[in-house]
Amino acid sequence: MTNFKVIAFDADDTLFVNETYFAEAEEKFCTLMSDYHSKQSISQELFKTQINNLPTYGYGIKGYILSMIEAAMAISNNTIPVEYIEKIIQYGKELAEKPIELLEGVEETLDALYGKYKLVVATKGDLLDQRRKLHKSGLGKYFHHIEVMSDKQEIDYLDLIKRLDIKPEEFFMIGNSLKSDILPVLEIGGHAVHVPFHTTWAHEKINHKIEHTNFSTYPKINHVLVKLT
């Protein structure tokens, strides 16, 4: 056993597939708008709109679809037919209805850690959507607490740690995003493990290597059991 009291897991692309579905929706959007601009230009406009809207809409399907509609209006110079808007809304509904695909080793890992540590989910996104996914995944039984955060900055993790009544050094985070799941946790004195996912949203990428005594990376989530059991 270790000195860690809480093991926190990101949800999307750490416990189950997520970004793959958003990439598929973006592909459909680029095809829909292909008469107006190139695929690259359409993707760039959508990304710019998403980033500009994060302070207002936050993360998740609803904000993504609203950003798609706004980007479509900009790309088409406000001439987009109503049928296109209907299709974009349908893309959002399809995203919300996607099956939950657990990643390899997830349930094995949770089962091995359950009862040894307090397990929590610490994830970004839309509250309703994240709770729906966790319910459909069947993983809810493993978690003491589910935290759907508006963002994952140092202050957000400090607030979570305060509510959990632990010290930062007793907090251990597992996630696929170096920017959101790893760096802020290391900055506040916690421990973090990076489990890469094959697809990463551009906003979550960093351009430097992390070297920190509290940081490690594993190719599969169940490999972390070597460190925790």
At 201 the three-state DSSP class reads coil
- The pLDDT tens digits of the residues spanning 14-23 come to 999 999 999 9
The sheet that has 171-175: what strands, in order across it?
Answer: 145-149, 118-124, 6-9, 171-175, 191-194, 215-217
CA distance 48 to 79: 20
| 97: phi then psi, degrees, rounded to nearest 5 | -100, 5
Question: Which pairing describes strands 171-175 and 6-9: parallel, antiparallel, or unpaired?
Answer: parallel
Higher pLDDT, 229 or 144: 144
Inform me whether the pLDDT recorded for 173 exceeds 90: yes
- pLDDT at 203 (0 to 100): 79
Percent of the chain with pLDDT over 90: 87
- pLDDT at 2 (0 to 100): 65
- Return the closest-CA partner of residue 103 out of 219, 182, 229, 203: 219
Higher pLDDT, 202 or 122: 122
Strand-pairing partners, residue 121, are 9, 146
- The pLDDT tens digits of the residues spanning 69-120 come to 999 999 999 999 999 999 999 999 999 999 999 999 999 999 999 999 999 9
Kindly report the pTM of this predicted structure: 0.92
- Return the closest-CA partner of residue 23 out of 213, 197, 229: 197
- pLDDT at 90 (0 to 100): 98
- The pLDDT tens digits of the residues spanning 180-225 come to 999 999 999 999 999 999 888 777 888 788 999 999 999 999 999 9
DSSP state of 220: S
- pLDDT at 202 (0 to 100): 78
At 60 the three-state DSSP class reads coil
CATH of 19-96, one of 2.120.10.30, 3.50.50.100, 2.40.30.170, 1.10.150.240: 1.10.150.240
How is the chain split into domains, by residue range? 6-16+101-228, 19-96
- The pLDDT tens digits of the residues spanning 36-51 come to 999 999 999 999 999 9
Structure tokens at 177: 């995003």
Side chain identity, residue 132: R
At 114 the three-state DSSP class reads strand
Side chain identity, residue 188: I
Cα Rg of the chain (Å, integer): 19
The confidence band for 1, taking pLDDT boundaries of 50, 70 and 90, is: very low
> Mean pLDDT across the chain, nearest whole number?
94
Instruction: For domain 6-16+101-228, give the fold.
Output: Rossmann fold (3.40.50)
CA distance 57 to 158: 23
Please, which residues have CB within 8 angstroms of residue 157's CB and are 6 or more apart in sequence? 122, 171, 173, 184, 185, 188, 190
